[in-house]
Amino acid sequence: MNRNTKPELLAPAGSLSKLKVAIDYGADAVYLGGNRLNLRAFADNFSDAEMQEGIEYAHSRGRKVYMTLNVFPHNEDLEGLEDYLRSVRDLGIDALIVSDPGIIMTCREVIPEMELHLSTQANNVNYRSAMFWHQNGVKRIVLARELTLEEIRDLIARTPDTLEIEAFVHGSMCMAYSGRCLLSSYMVGRDANRGECAQPCRYKYYLVEEKRLDQPMEILEDERGTYIMNSKDLCMIQHIPELMESGIVSFKIEGRMKSEYYVAAIVKAYRAAMDAYLADPANYRYDPKWMELLEKVSHRKYHTGFYFGRGNSQIYESSTYVRDYDIVAAVVRREADGRYFMHEKNRIFPNTEVEVLRAKGDVFRTTLTNFRDVEGSPIEVANKAAMYFSCDCPDQLEAGDLIIQTTGEVKYVF
């Protein structure tokens, strides 16, 4: 990919269904984890069969699939690595996201034709390091999130066009340096650098004075508690021109553990913003409706991270998740009689107002009525996990539409 071409929008795919949603809503590429050696050991990682289906789904639509292989392995993790790499190649993965020099060396020996992307876990923050990795077979650097936009531009200017630069533009940030954290290993014996992070930075903590161990003192942020190690969520939707003109070739969204709704909404917003800029850079205008989409998904307070200087970038008054909308159903198809066949995601009652999110066009409001189960019997609520049901709707719905609904109040999720 040339630095002067249209940047890629890269979305997380924590499962096969999320992969399809990301592609349908406008991602140019997705990244996912296989069943070994990736940093989301507790995600719904892909089996070989699921990965094959996902790759075929993406490739048939002209999109790409990257696979994470970005743990820092111990000796036992390397057992069978060569065979695993060959099997991944045979599935048709477009690139591997790697961080460990040993894994990189093995990739070059076993599957030399495979494109390699250096994970943000490798903490690349300068052009000399970027050149080192490029000379050792890495085609793309996923930059550490601690860089400013000015530093990124300088790095790009000092490296050849044959090296691609990818950067995160949206999603959760880490209290440690680009994810290199030992807190989980120390506290609960789960190694974050081998994909098993327990996220102790999200725990609730108390301060204890050594002579008063029975009197823990809460450090209050607000009435919901204290989460002093949490970081704000990164959001660069209001700075698309700066990103588009930076030379970054891939805009990465964080969130393999997030919901289908999260993936759909975030991809939709950034796709719309990027396309608006590409259509007419000179007259580009930020549209507040993009942020309205982003505000509805589960998130912490948004910020621009380190892009515009370090300062107090990640210090703020509250670090709780805000979530006031949930996905409640997905449209599977329209029946011959005009009714809609739905897949329930969360409990939903008939005759209550919902919003419809689809890949193209604005979000709109409607009401679903006359719920029936798969046998055709009337039901008062769709409330069984992953159940299918049918309903009427006065507005035209499409397969793939996501039905979302306000929870009625802001939820703070810890």
Residue 194 half-sphere exposure toward CB, CA atoms < 13 A: 11
CA–CA separation, 314 and 302 (whole Å): 10
d(CA 262, CA 326): 9
Q: What is the pLDDT, as a whole number, of residue 414?
A: 31
**What is the model's pLDDT at position 173?**
82
Residue 13 has pLDDT above 90, yes or no: yes
Which residues are 234's β-sheet partners?
171, 303
Instruction: Confirm if 330 and 264 have CB atoms less than 8 A apart.
Output: no
Q: CATH: 3.40.50.300, 3.30.930.10, 3.40.140.10, 3.20.20.70. Which one for 8-173+231-310?
A: 3.20.20.70
For residue 197, what pLDDT band results from cuts at 50, 70 and 90? Answer: confident
Integer Cα distance of 281 and 222 in angstroms: 43
Cα separation, 202 vs 223, whole angstroms:
16
Helix (H) or strand (E) segment spanning residue 403: strand 402-413
Please say whether the beta carbons of 356 and 397 come within 8 A.
Answer: yes
| Pair 179, 254: CB distance under 8 Å | no
**Hey, what are 333's tokens?**
């198809």
Query: Given this model, what pLDDT does residue 411 score?
Result: 41
Query: pLDDT tens across 118-172, in order?
Result: 999 999 999 999 999 999 999 999 999 999 999 999 999 999 999 999 999 999 8
CATH 2.40.30.10 fits 322-413, yes or no: yes
H or E segment and range at residue 271: helix 260-279
The pLDDT, as a whole number, for residue 260 is: 92
Share of the chain above pLDDT 70, in %: 85
Q: Domain residue spans in the chain?
A: 8-173+231-310, 177-218, 322-413
Judged by average pLDDT, the poorest of 38-52, 106-120, 275-289, 369-383 is 38-52
pLDDT digits (tens, 9 = 90+) for 243-263: 999 999 999 999 888 889 999
Would you say residue 393 has pLDDT above 50?
yes
- Yes or no: say if 389 and 344 are a contact pair by the CB < 8 Å rule: yes
Over residues 218-245, mean pLDDT: 78
